Amino acid sequence: MATQMSRKLFGTDGVRGEAGTFLTAELATALGRAVTTSLDADRPQVLIVRDTRESGPMLEAALAAGVAAAGGEALLGGVLPTPAAAILVKRLGLDLAAVVSASHNPFQDNGIKFFSARGTKLGDEVEARIESLLEEQPPATISAGSVRELNGGLDDYLRELAAAFPLDLSGRHIVLDCANGATFRAGPAIFERLGARVETIGIEPDGRNINAGCGSTHTDAIAERVVSSGAEIGFAFDGDGDRVLAVDGSGRVHDGDELIALGARGMASRGELAGVVVTVMTNFGFHGAMAEAGIDVAVTQVGDRYVIDEMLRRDWQLGGEQSGHIIATDFVATGDGIAAALMTMRELGESKLDGAAPMQKLPQTLVNVTVADREAVNDAASVWEAVERESEALEGRGRVLLRPSGTEPLVRVMVEAPSADEADAVCGRLVAIVREELG
């Protein structure tokens, strides 16, 4: 345990790693105890939900034991999408929500992330406080807490979705890929409730098939099903349900940039949008489309928590990432794949996705270059000189983004240009320099 405690546990989306080796029952119990101790309440109430991984029940039980050991009340909500936790913690007036999930990762991994009583992810300072409590001798409690099941969480979440998106989808033929994950019940249920004819993929979780060849990270299956079934649209969620990609009737995948652009244009036309927040990975074509529509854009580093923080700071209603994290703060202050899918249907109205053109994407080339030391790129003058040179040549037509990975020994080189050939050529030149200087 001491080895685990000596390193920084929290990443950009909670504590995540291989279940049973890094993320052990012991660590989950310690996290449950520490986070409960950090709360300013006599008997904190902590909601715990999870996705469908086989390690989920073990970690759920261990986390709940830690909450109870610190004198709190652990409420087990079972399998629910991540955004349901953010909604329920506010709806029920609880002190904290915890989600046991590793999102789009394979089943061997798992994670624990927390939401405050306001339904927002914890800030860096709070996470640092929790980590410091892990190192300390846990305080004695006057009395042990309790663990009990919380029933009705799914129904509450579905009611919130139906109230926020009062759509009539009668006659609409829709395919959903639930990634054998946390949306396997909620996704089909809300679309059927709104009248859609629903076909499904990935609704038979067995503990190990979450994200396996399905979901938002593997869209071939849903693209094939949409085309073969004659459906008008498909939505692919990830394992914990906080992101979504869409597929139109011709089988083309539409990423988060395109769905955010569609939502932004619609909301702006109704006077509901002050601005939109995206990350540095957002396609150059998005910025051109927003400028044309007169919509202000703010840019953050990669990570949905940074997008959310900027949205809350500016009091803006819409933001997200190319990967499909789409946040509409008038519903919930975190990514919600199902809500984003319903937002897409709302903005489309009677139109089809393959006929909508909210933005014109520029061809993008991304190469991950393995390096000995990812931080060394910061001092590689020749690399940055090349980046500046290529950026100047693309000014007004595209862009270059070069950055070290936050977790792996990689430097990511991304180029967007008017043509795929130009993007490939520019990226190739930069990759060669990175390999020469840092490989």
Does residue 103 carry a catalytic annotation?
yes
Reported residue count of the chain is 439
Among residues 200, 236, 167, 186, the alpha carbon closest in space to that of 85 is found at 186
Residue 2 parent element (H or E):
helix 2-5
Q: Cα–Cα distances in Å, from 427 out to 54, 147, 381? A: 41, 54, 18
CA dist 274 and 278 (Å) reads 14
Crossing angle (nearest 10°) for helices 153-164 and 337-348: 20
3-state secondary structure 84-124: HHHHHHHHCCCCEEEEECCCCCCCCEEEEEEEECCCCECCH
Is 390:415 a contact under the CB 8 Å cutoff? Answer: yes
CA dist 15 and 127 (Å) reads 10
Half-sphere exposure of 152 (CA within 13 A, CB side): 6
Is 231:199 a contact under the CB 8 Å cutoff? Answer: yes
Is 99:115 a contact under the CB 8 Å cutoff? Answer: yes
Which tokens go with 304? 């949905």
What does the DSSP assignment read for 121-180?
Answer: BPPHHHHHHHHHHHHSPPPPPSS--EEEE--SHHHHHHHHHHHH-----TT-EEEEE-TT
Sign of CA dihedral 253, 259, 265, 267: positive
Catalytic position from the list 103, 116, 216, 323: 103
- Which residues belong to the active site? 103
